[in-house]
Amino acid sequence: MNSKIRKILPQIITLLAVVLIFGFFTFNAQINMDNRGIEFGYGFLSQESSFDVQFSLIEYDGSHSYARAYLVGLLNTLLVAFIGIIISTIIGIIVGIARLSPNYLIERSAAFYVEFFRNIPLLLQIFFWYFAALRALPLPQDADPIFGVFFLTIKGLFVPRFIWENLDIFFYSIIAATVSITVIRNYAKRLQQNEGKQLPVFSISAGLLIILPLLAFLIGGVSLNFEIPVLEQMSTTSFKYNGGLGIPPELIALTLALALYTATFIAECVRAGIQGISKGQKEAAASIGLTPNQILKLVIMPQALRIIIPPTTNQYLNLTKNSSLAAAIAYPDLVLVFAGTALMQTGRAIEIVSITMFTYLSISLAISALMNWYNKSIAIKEK
Amino acid sequence: MSKINFLKPDKQNLSTYLYTGSFLFFIAVFDVFLSSFFKINITSFLPNFVSFLLPLILGIIGLHLVRIEFSGIKNLDLLNKNINTSTFNAVLTLLIIFIIIKSIPPIMSWFILDANIAGDTKEACTGSGACWTYIKIWLRRFVYGMYPNDLQWRINISFILLIALAFVGYFPSEKLRKFLTLYYVVIYPIIAFVLIYYLISGGAFGLEWVETGAWGGLSLTFIVSFFCLIFCFPVGMFLALGRRSELPTLRYISVGFIEFWRGVPLITVLFMSSVMFPMFLPEDFFMDKLVRVIIAISLFEAAYVAEVIRGGLQALPRGQYDAAKSLGMGYWKMHIFVILPQALKLVIPGIANTFLALVKDTPLIFVVGLLEIVGMLNLAKTNPKWLGFAMEGYVFAAIIFWIICYAMSRYSYNLEIKYKTER
């Protein structure tokens, strides 16, 4: 009886405390909103937003709804996260491997990079790139083209725009190539397990990936043109690039800072993963006659990835969450567009902040659920 | 003397290979050195492209020639093993050496040679390098924010006192030693709060009241990280214990709390504390901006601390729990005397990383309008009298943050070594 009470009592007390706190908050919120004459609800989302956004992936202007503004912000956030993840992974893997190089100078340079960028606050790095480094770039009229088609100016990076015809056919050809590669890989795996024969899977895959899209170009009627940005004079002092694709400096500064910062953490994950494999594994693999390539592919990497991937995913999540610092340099991401401008206009603090937080929360939970599933699928299956 | 084959250096003609190789390598480095420091291109008679690549080619040949296995010369073998194992490695080595040589002059000239520190107006900065005058003039603002100049001794004294009190733990007598944990967890934070409240804030004992809006700069960075650090640790510890608890209500509440804070970015938490939180409080109830920020950051970091401590708790073998229980210890006694001391020792690096992240997150408080050092920089940058010195400001702040963070990570590394116990 005594132990039962000791188990139940703390639970009741905590529950009561939590309920009381929440009740207190809702009660106050009710009163405060009554005083300001606001009705709680998400109806405002369909109202006209009447503000513009500098940079948007989808069509948007002031006549669209707040819900659309939310979508614009979300897409911009995801864009930064996506580019940042790709760049930081590439840098991270290179630096992580360089940290294990037998070459002393390379090892030290990689260590210097990691120690340097890891110990400076990300916000400071974003400010540095945006306000100091990118401001030193030339004006549009003075910019020298890089390879004749890229223009890096203080107004951003201008690159050629792709103009596709029959993009869908090209897209289908890539899907067809991916599907057939998967089939061939499975077949090759079965063949090896049953008969011990090995197919040159890599060359077949590469061939398919080149040939199928090429066929789409030759007979599918797909065509690709480039629209190169051209400098145009608006007035005596103002110049502007027409055509092409303009990448705003905010996006460049943000992705650069996020990628360089996160790459240091990914590099440490990669290093820890490779170091975590005992030397015996490598020697054992060599002693059964595997080539160095096979050792890396069949023995080291599968085991190292098991150690590398969970913390790396964590870093990807951090990068996505850190992309909210965009608000500091006015890149129109979810926080700036929705929790900033939309909140100022509507004054609906509770609804908007909760939507924003819920969005980030669901991205995080979705990715960690995906990772847990992946972790389970690659975990060592004890027999 | 046997035949010399330059494609395959061997031990027989050691000195020939060694001298030719070192000579070529030396020429390559010398060429880059001259062009970098004195802007002299000794190979200008060659076509542009060749002249550009020549040092690299010479260096590769030179390093190839000195790559002799088991030469018998200790230093040469060491060199080959470390920076010259293959042609690919030699190329990377050369590139790194060249980049270092090339980057020294511009960095030196920007930082020191062409920089200005004299004078106290923008016009004093005539050189092409950094304008340290700007930092010199604004230093007080960067360190103390808008805090009145003649009252800044109060900040200095309270920081000195706090640091001195933090070292008390090093010299108590044996008798008092067992109260150390109590001192650091309960008494020290209270003293710190009282000190900062009465000395920095003022308003009593004849000290002038300085509102928190005027606090700023580096001192605010320290105040915010100090308090968040003190508060987030115990909260995180309770959350970790809650998450491992056998009582389902406690466990679910802890899990929900931790996952919620870990899933959202700090900036939205600060938004919440500044625009949403006041809606939840009674109308006449006023809570200072700084206090709200400290609470928000503490709760946010507590979730991370909790996960780190949970890792330590999980890493302890079951035997420790069983042994403690068999001695008749209750839940709290078991955790305080047996489990937590060992678990915390295991997670020192993780906790240090969380604290580092906390310090690096403090600049985010600009969201609610508090200006610590990065915020002050942004303010100074827009001052019409001092336009155009953004770079100097950010470099200055970066150096300060780097020193703080690097020192912290070194210190945690030392702690880790000190408390490492063999099992």
CATH number of the domain that residue B391 is part of:
1.10.3720.10
Other beta carbons within 10 angstroms of residue B18's beta carbon come to 17
Q: Which of B85, B267, B397 sits opposite A124 (nearest CB)?
A: B397
Question: pLDDT (tens digit, 9 = 90+) per residue, B41-63?
Answer: 777 777 777 777 888 888 888 88
**Residue B49 belongs to domain spanning:** 14-105
| B140 in the same domain as B51 | no
Beta strands in B50-204 (DSSP E): none
Q: Which residues of A touch B381 (CB under 8 A)?
A: 131
Give the burial class of A286: count Cβ atoms within 10 A of its Cβ; 0-12 exposed, 13-18 middle, 19 or more buried.
middle
Select the residue of A115, A128, A350 nearest B398 (Cβ to Cβ).
Answer: A128
B115 in a structural domain: no
d(CA B63, CA B28): 11
- DSSP three-state, residue A146: strand
CB contact under 8 A, B279 and A18: no
B72 closest CA partner among B155, B11, B153, B158: B11
Residue A211: predicted pLDDT: 83
- Report whether B376 contacts B142 (CB < 8 A): yes
Q: What is the pLDDT of residues A178-206, one digit of tens each?
A: 898 889 888 888 888 888 777 777 788 88
Q: Is the pLDDT of residue B17 over 60?
A: yes
Residues B229 and B353 in one domain: yes
Q: How far apart are CA A92 and CA B213, in angstroms?
A: 40
Nearest to A28 among B259, B264, B281 (CB): B281
pLDDT above 80 for B183? no
> Smallest CA–CA separation between A212 and chain B, in Å?
35
Whether residue B339 is found in the same domain as residue B288: yes
Distance CA B267, CA B272 (A): 9
Does any domain span residue B231? yes
Q: Choose among A18, A29, A357: nearest Cβ to B264.
A: A357
User: Is B53 domain-assigned?
Assistant: yes
What 3-state class would DSSP assign to A233? strand
pLDDT digits (tens, 9 = 90+) for A249-277: 889 999 999 999 999 999 999 988 888 88
User: Which pLDDT does position A116 carry in this prediction?
Assistant: 92
Q: What is the DSSP secondary structure assignment for residue A100, as one 8-state letter?
A: T
Contact yes or no for B101/B32 (Cβ under 8 A): yes
For residue A85, the model assigns a pLDDT of 92
**Mutation site, B93, B96, B279, B401, interface A, largest A CB count within 10 A:** B279
Residue of A nearest to B359 (CA): A121
Of B85, B275, B406, the CB nearest to A349: B275
Which has the closest alpha carbon to A125: A246, A248, A264? Answer: A264
Cα-based torsion angle of the residue sequence B32, B38, B44, B50 in order, rounded to the nearest 10 degrees: 20
> What would the DSSP string read from start to end of A329-368?
GT---HIIIIIIIIHHHH--HHHHHHHHHHHHHHHHHHHH
What rounded mean pLDDT belongs to chain B? 82
CA dist B279 and A149 (Å) reads 53
Burial class of A336 by CB neighbour count within 10 A (0 to 12, 13 to 18, 19+): buried
- Binned at pLDDT 50, 70 and 90, residue B169 comes out as low
Nearest Cα residue in chain A from B271:
A353
Mean pLDDT of B221-242: 89
Q: How far is CA B338 from CA A113, B313, B329, B342, B344, in A?
A: 41, 11, 10, 7, 11
Considering A370-374, A375-379, B230-234, the range whose residues carry the highest mean pLDDT is B230-234
- Nearest Cα residue in chain A from B285: A28
* pLDDT interval class at B64 (50, 70, 90): confident
User: Are B220 and B320 contained in the same domain?
Assistant: yes
Does residue B412 sit in the same domain as residue B293?
yes
Interchain proximity B391–A29, CB inside 8 Å: no
Q: Is B374's CB within 8 Å of A127's CB?
A: yes
Shared domain for B93 and B140, answered yes or no, is: no
- Quick one: tokens of A81? 């996260």
3-state secondary structure A115-184: HHHHCCCHHHHHHHHHHHHHHHCCCHHHCCEECCCEEEECCEEEECEEEEECHHHHHHHHHHHHHHHHHH
Q: What is the pLDDT of residue B411?
A: 85
CA distance A221 to A232: 33
Contact A127 B362 (CB under 8 A): no
CB contact under 8 A, A360 and B268: yes
What predicted TM-score, i.e. pTM, was given to this entire model?
A: 0.86
Contacts of residue A11 in chain B, CB cutoff 8 Å? 247-250
- Alpha helices by DSSP H, B316-372: 318-326, 331-334, 340-346, 348-361
Identify whether B222 is part of a domain: yes
Does B110 fall in a domain?
no
- Cβ atoms of A90 and A260 closer than 8 Å: no
Q: Looking at A83-87, A199-203, B178-182, B271-275, which range is the least confident one?
A: B178-182
pLDDT above 90: percentage of residues in chain B: 6
Residues B59 and B140 in one domain: no
How many structural domains does chain B have?
2
- Compute the nearest-CA separation of B280 from chain A (Å): 5
**B292 interfaces chain A, CB cutoff of 8 Å:** no
CB contact under 8 A, B276 and A128: no
Q: Which of A4-13, A65-74, A233-242, B218-227 has the lowest average pLDDT?
A: A233-242
Measured distance CA(A79)–CA(A85) in Å, rounded? 10
B268 C-beta neighbours (distance < 10 Å), count = 26
Measured in angstroms, the CA of A379 and the nearest CA of chain B are apart by: 19
pLDDT at B402 over 90: yes
B232 and B372 both lie in a single domain: yes
Query: Is the pLDDT confidence value at B158 over 70?
Result: yes
Pairs of CB atoms within 8 A across A/B: 155
Do B270 and B395 fall into the same domain?
Answer: yes
The residue among B105, B123, B156 that closes a domain is B105
Question: Using a CB-CB distance cutoff of 8 angstroms, which residues of chain A are in contact with residue B247?
Answer: 7, 10-11
Structure tokens of B146? 């808008």
> Of the given ranges (A129-133, A215-219, B43-47), which has the lowest mean pLDDT?
B43-47
Q: What is the distance, to the nearest Å, from the Cα of residue A195 to the centroid of all Cα atoms in its chain? A: 42
**Rounded Cα–Cα distance for residues B218 and B271 (Å):** 22
CB-nearest to A18 from B96, B253, B377 is B253
Q: Are A173 and A216 in contact (CB under 8 A)?
A: yes
pLDDT for the residue A1: 57
Instruction: Decide if B93 is inside a domain.
Output: yes
How distant is the Cα of A288 from the closest Cα of chain B, in angstroms? 26
CB atoms within 10 A of CB A121: 25
Distance from CA of B402 to the nearest CA of A (A): 5
Q: Is B369 helix (H, G, I), strand (E, B) or coil?
A: coil
Q: In terms of pLDDT, which residue wins out, A303 or B200? A: A303
Backbone angles phi, psi at A242, to 5 degrees: -110, 150
From B249, B378, B381, residue closest to A14, measured CB to CB: B249
Question: Are A339 and B89 inside 8 Å of each other by CB?
Answer: no
Nearest C-alpha in B relative to A3? B330
- Cα Rg, chain B, nearest whole Å: 30
Q: By mean pLDDT, which of A280-289, B12-21, B207-216 is the weakest?
A: B207-216
Q: What's the gap in Å between the CA of B19 and the closest CA on chain A?
A: 23
What are the CA-CA distances from residue B364 to residues A116, A333, B139, B360 (Å)? Answer: 20, 16, 21, 9
Cα-Cα-Cα-Cα torsion A22, A25, A26, A27, nearest 10 degrees, comes to: 120
C-alpha distance from A62 to closest chain B C-alpha (Å): 24
User: What's the pLDDT score for residue A382?
Assistant: 57
**B269: β partners:** none
Say if B124 falls within a structural domain: no
The pLDDT of residue B298: 92
Specify whether B333 is located in the same domain as B281.
yes
Task: Pick from B224, B280, B401 the residue to mutate for testing the A interface (most A CBs within 10 Å).
Answer: B280
Span B287-326, pLDDT tens digits: 788 888 999 999 999 999 999 998 888 888 888 888 988 9
How much of chain B, in percent, has pLDDT values that exceed 70?
94
The distance of B110 to chain A (nearest Cα, Å) reads 14
> What are B363-400's pLDDT values in tens digits?
888 888 888 888 888 888 888 877 778 888 889 899 99
* Residue B278 located in a structural domain: yes
Distance CA A219, CA A221 (A): 6
| Nearest residue in chain B measured CA to CA from A33 | B279
Which residue of A324, A345, A360 is the best one to mutate when testing the B interface, meaning the one whose CB has the most B CBs within 10 A? Answer: A324
How do strand A223-227 and strand A230-233 relate by DSSP bridges?
Answer: unpaired
Are B353 and B366 contacting, i.e. CB atoms less than 8 angstroms apart? no
Residue B179 corresponds to which tokens in the numbers above? 């109260």
CA distance linking residue B62 with residue B80, whole number of Å: 12
In degrees and rounded to multiples of 5, residue B46 shows phi and psi of -85, 160
Neighbours of B327 (CB within 10 A): 11
| B73: number of Cβ within 10 Å | 13
Q: What are the tens digits of pLDDT across the range A314-364?
A: 899 899 999 998 888 888 888 888 888 888 888 788 888 889 989 999 988
pLDDT reported for residue B368: 84
Structure tokens belonging to residue A249: 């400096």
Give the C-alpha separation, B385 to A20, whole Å: 54
Query: What is the DSSP secondary-structure string of A248-293?
Result: PHHHHHHHHHHHHHHHHHHHHHHHHHHHTS-HHHHHHHHHTT--HH
Q: Which helix (H) or strand (E) holds A227?
A: strand A223-227
CA distance A101 to chain B (A): 9
B240 and B375 both lie in a single domain: yes
8 Å CB contact of A119 and B247: no
pLDDT recorded at residue B399 = 92
Note whether B41 and B136 are same-domain residues. Answer: no
Restricting to B residues 221-250, those with a Cβ less than 8 Å away from any Cβ of A are 246-250
List Cα–Cα distances, B190 to B182, B186, B187, B205, B231, in angstroms: 12, 7, 5, 19, 11
User: What average pLDDT is seen over chain A?
Assistant: 83
